[in-house]
A and B are shown apart, each in its own frame.
Chain A
């Protein structure tokens, strides 16, 4: 008599719609680095594609294994294909790593807040990415590149641990070759053959070609990297209100009901993952919030 009667039968027929993943079939698997891969997905049984806004994420489900939040890394102007880039580090991502073309994943989403691209119109845009943090920024980059005339200078500062960890190499090369984009890549540790920058990504901020009084910064990477990047941006004269960061927390629902992603007063899933830096700065410097 632990639960009231007839509730059992209700649960059996009720598919909790907001928690129900929809099947998406893998059309292509692309290996990015040793432990990072990109999946291109299409919804099964429908051809309505997948619309989203840069910065948003999905809850991605591997049959019987589990479900985790992963940001969308594709082009928002090409919603026919859903693209996720992730590193195989946990149970679910390691299971994803074993999937091949024709296999199926479950998707719920898109969820969360977007990068403030509207606010960036007519101004310089500085993207700062650390490691896998380039993936959640890529949809915003695609948007800016496709609407290049609407923005001022566009700068990407990208740091990884080593040259082998650089994501989206071909695309970075293409973008770097353009005269209207400034792409700078740096690595923490170089190896022979590396002729680029060495050092953390923040060291590139003072000299990067943008006007701090008229720039917006979108930053994604490890929390410590985002803190130092934001501090460096502010030091250079960027208004703190023009700096955005994307946060990561444990999520079980993605829709503000499970409580896991709380960060002080905000739910990262529904209030974020993209936040104005000013909103989260004080919490980022305190222990274990």
Chain B
């Protein structure tokens, strides 16, 4: 790993270098009163001078004064949208007499063409989320070839956090606020009264190669120290915390804890938490035909364990109650994910807390179950 500095005025040169290499740039931008991730083409598309104020069931944008490019926490979009799209066409089949077949010319193999995407501004929690999806979708025995294709072509520019959001708890999950691996480049935005610049760490050969065409300077000890201190500040600002000690066992042992009734009474089963979660991967497939019935398409869509359909087998849904569905989601995220994939499914990004319409807080619920609180819901200021 090599460490450089990049002046604020040269961030555009970094984006241009990626564009010249054929990457489509995806990064944070302001839309619909939120900082979302979308296609960007220049630095002006970034949320310059914006920050967000987040708490349970609340997200507001606020102006800032320091010209920061990345002065905010995570928004409602996660990067899974681009690697594992919400709606994915899988195949078309044509009726052929009494049989059916792929349309002529359809290749049965995955194309080798590489959809080169550069992710600009991936927070350390989300860098971990990418690694978690890799384990879920690529570790086998079966892999998702479309995810693999997109992931292979993906250039990751991480941005370390120097300010934590109101619902963040990456420090508890050991996923931030500083990225240590899983990126091509990692930036730390540093704003002092005399200088606005980025510390740039390389995480891969192609990251290092890219910097050859970007005006960077070798970083000094002071600059590195400043970056470390900025991340440590974010570490101390975490809006939430989650005690992960034996959390898996605590949840398994408390599958019939009365607290689930209290959560079930609040949960709207709206599925927001699963849509904003950067690691939720559940999907359904829909098989549809054209009006004439001669062509059938299979479409994969994000699904959620909060819907009744999700667990439906003949006779009814396995998880008919809201409390069972919330328990499934939370226990999967924090406990059974460990059995399945050797890692927690939670990266502490806090999105599920912010975007829950009734402000159910996964950290609070885990705490209540650990401490044996049956019903009282403590609220945060």
Q: Please tell me the number of chain B residues within 8 Å of chain A, measured between CB atoms.
A: 71
Give 5 A-B pairs besides A6-B115, A18-B145, A63-B296 with Cβ atoms closer than 8 angstroms: A64-B288, A258-B285, A260-B311, A262-B328, A265-B336
Min CB gap B122→A, angstroms: 15
**Could you tell me which residues of chain B, from 31 to 89, have a CB within 8 Å of some CB in chain A?**
38-39, 81-82, 85, 88-89
B335 CB contacts on chain A under 8 angstroms: 265
What residue in chain B is nearest A25 (Cβ atoms)? Answer: B99
Residue A102 interfacial (CB < 8 Å): yes
Min CB gap B73→A, angstroms: 22
A120 CB contacts on chain B under 8 angstroms: none
B95 CB contacts on chain A under 8 angstroms: 63
Residue A173 interfacial (CB < 8 Å): no
A242 CA to B125 CA, complexed, in Å: 44
A65 CA to B289 CA, complexed, in Å: 8
B101 CB contacts on chain A under 8 angstroms: 23
Asked whether A3 lies within 8 Å of B108 as measured between CB atoms, the reply is no
Binding-face segment, A71-79, A176-184, A231-239, A281-289 = A281-289
Which of B93, B282, B305 lies in contact with A63, CB distance below 8 A? B93
A25 CB contacts on chain B under 8 angstroms: 98-99
Min CB gap B307→A, angstroms: 10
Assuming the contacts A14-B146, A17-B108, A19-B91, asked whether A262 and B336 have C-beta atoms less than 8 A apart, the reply is yes
Asked whether B146 lies within 8 Å of A259 as measured between CB atoms, the reply is no
Asked whether B283 lies within 8 Å of A4 as measured between CB atoms, the reply is no
Binding-face segment, B159-167, B221-229, B319-327, B370-378 = B319-327
Binding-face segment, B1-9, B136-144, B182-190, B210-218 = B136-144
B109 CB contacts on chain A under 8 angstroms: 15, 17
Interfacial residues, chain B to chain A (CB-CB below 8 A): 24, 26, 38-39, 81-82, 85, 88-91, 93, 95, 98-102, 106-111, 113, 115, 117, 136-137, 141-146, 149-150, 252, 255-256, 281-285, 287-289, 293, 296, 298, 300, 303, 305, 310-314, 318-321, 324, 328, 331-332, 335-336, 339-340
Assuming the contacts A5-B39, A61-B287, A287-B324, asked whether A257 and B150 have C-beta atoms less than 8 A apart, the reply is no
A289 CB contacts on chain B under 8 angstroms: 255, 318, 324, 328
Asked whether B336 lies within 8 Å of A260 as measured between CB atoms, the reply is no
Residue A10 interfacial (CB < 8 Å): yes
**Could you tell me which residues of chain A, from 236 to 289, have a CB within 8 Å of some CB in chain B?**
248-250, 252-253, 255-260, 262, 264-267, 270, 286-289
Assuming the contacts A103-B98, A288-B321, asked whether A3 and B296 have C-beta atoms less than 8 A apart, the reply is no
Asked whether B108 lies within 8 Å of A15 as measured between CB atoms, the reply is yes
Min CB gap A47→B, angstroms: 16
What residue in chain B is nearest A288 (Cβ atoms)? Answer: B324
A260 CA to B318 CA, complexed, in Å: 11
Asked whether A66 lies within 8 Å of B26 as measured between CB atoms, the reply is no
A3 CA to B89 CA, complexed, in Å: 13
Asked whether A249 lies within 8 Å of B283 as measured between CB atoms, the reply is no
B285 CB contacts on chain A under 8 angstroms: 19, 67, 252-253, 258
Which of B99, B142, B298, B300 lies in contact with A23, CB distance below 8 A? B99
Min CB gap B103→A, angstroms: 9
Asked whether A1 lies within 8 Å of B38 as measured between CB atoms, the reply is yes
Mark contacts of A59-99 with chain B using CB atoms, 8 A cut-off: 1 yes-contact digit, 0 otherwise.
00101111100000000000000000001011000000000
Which of B81, B146, B314 lies in contact with A3, CB distance below 8 A? B81
The 25 listed contacts between A and B (C-beta, < 8 Å) are A1-B39, A2-B38, A3-B82, A4-B26, A5-B39, A7-B115, A10-B113, A11-B88, A13-B106, A16-B110, A16-B145, A17-B109, A23-B99, A23-B100, A25-B98, A44-B99, A64-B287, A64-B296, A87-B314, A253-B283, A260-B303, A262-B305, A286-B255, A287-B321, A288-B320
Asked whether A3 lies within 8 Å of B318 as measured between CB atoms, the reply is no
Asked whether B289 lies within 8 Å of A64 as measured between CB atoms, the reply is yes
A64 CA to B298 CA, complexed, in Å: 8
Residue A12 interfacial (CB < 8 Å): yes
What residue in chain A is nearest B252 (Cβ atoms)? Answer: A264
A102 CA to B282 CA, complexed, in Å: 36
B300 CB contacts on chain A under 8 angstroms: 16, 19
A262 CB contacts on chain B under 8 angstroms: 305, 328, 332, 336
Asked whether B313 lies within 8 Å of A248 as measured between CB atoms, the reply is yes
What residue in chain B is nearest A103 (Cβ atoms)? Answer: B98
Asked whether B256 lies within 8 Å of A17 as measured between CB atoms, the reply is no
B141 CB contacts on chain A under 8 angstroms: 255-256, 270
| Most B C-beta atoms less than 10 A away, residue of A10, A16, A253 | A16
Asked whether A15 lies within 8 Å of B38 as measured between CB atoms, the reply is no
Residue A106 interfacial (CB < 8 Å): yes
Asked whether B256 lies within 8 Å of A287 as measured between CB atoms, the reply is yes
Residue A160 interfacial (CB < 8 Å): no
Assuming the contacts A1-B39, A5-B39, A288-B319, asked whether A16 and B90 have C-beta atoms less than 8 A apart, the reply is yes
A267 CA to B341 CA, complexed, in Å: 12
A258 CA to B110 CA, complexed, in Å: 19
Assuming the contacts A250-B313, A260-B311, asked whether A255 and B85 have C-beta atoms less than 8 A apart, the reply is no
Min CB gap B160→A, angstroms: 24
Asked whether A288 lies within 8 Å of B318 as measured between CB atoms, the reply is yes
B106 CB contacts on chain A under 8 angstroms: 13, 15
Asked whether A65 lies within 8 Å of B287 as measured between CB atoms, the reply is yes
What residue in chain A is nearest B294 (Cβ atoms)? Answer: A64
Which of B115, B143, B255, B288 lies in contact with A10, CB distance below 8 A? B115
A164 CB contacts on chain B under 8 angstroms: none
Asked whether B282 lies within 8 Å of A259 as measured between CB atoms, the reply is yes
A262 CA to B327 CA, complexed, in Å: 13
Asked whether A104 lies within 8 Å of B100 as measured between CB atoms, the reply is yes
Min CB gap B196→A, angstroms: 29
What residue in chain B is nearest A11 (Cβ atoms)? Answer: B89
Min CB gap B368→A, angstroms: 19
Asked whether A252 lies within 8 Å of B107 as measured between CB atoms, the reply is no
Asked whether A249 lies within 8 Å of B313 as measured between CB atoms, the reply is yes
Which of A4, A17, A255, A267 lies in contact with B115, CB distance below 8 A? A4
Mark contacts of A121-139 with chain B using CB atoms, 8 A cut-off: 1 yes-contact digit, 0 otherwise.
0000000000000000000
B318 CB contacts on chain A under 8 angstroms: 249-250, 288-289
Min CB gap B25→A, angstroms: 9
